[in-house]
Amino acid sequence: MKRFMIVLAALAMMMSTAAFAAEDGAALYKAKCAMCHGAAGEGKMGPAIKGKANVADVLTKGGLTKAPHKAPVAGLTADQVKAIAAFLK
């Protein structure tokens, strides 16, 4: 019974860790993008990005300048980029 409880506790910890590992696109966008692109992607100091199909490509490969998007989003993981792009769709 003790082993069962230990295994059950370990599984519960793994599942909760996986849930926290999932990226929140809205929170990432607000923290990394909204200051330039606006709260809803409508454009502010930077261009409008709401509804753009290639957000993930621009963040990783670059946009019109053919260079990757500069700070403050430099260093985003692939999962973070996907989460932001999914949020903006």
Residue 1 placed within a domain: no
- CA dist 84 and 29 (Å) reads 6
Are 37 and 31 in contact, with CB atoms under 8 Å apart?
no
What is the domain range of residue 53?
Answer: 23-88
Residue 59 placed within a domain: yes
Q: Mean pLDDT throughout 19-38? A: 80
Residue 33 placed within a domain: yes
Q: Mean pLDDT throughout 6-30? A: 67
User: What is the model's pLDDT at position 52?
Assistant: 75
Residue 12 placed within a domain: no
In what helix (H) or strand (E) does residue 67 lie, and over which residues does it extend? Answer: none
Chain centre to alpha carbon of residue 76: 8
Residue 13 placed within a domain: no
Residue 5 placed within a domain: no
CATH number at residue 31: 1.10.760.10
Q: How many domains does the chain have?
A: 1
4-8, 35-39, 50-54, 63-67 — which is least confidently predicted?
63-67
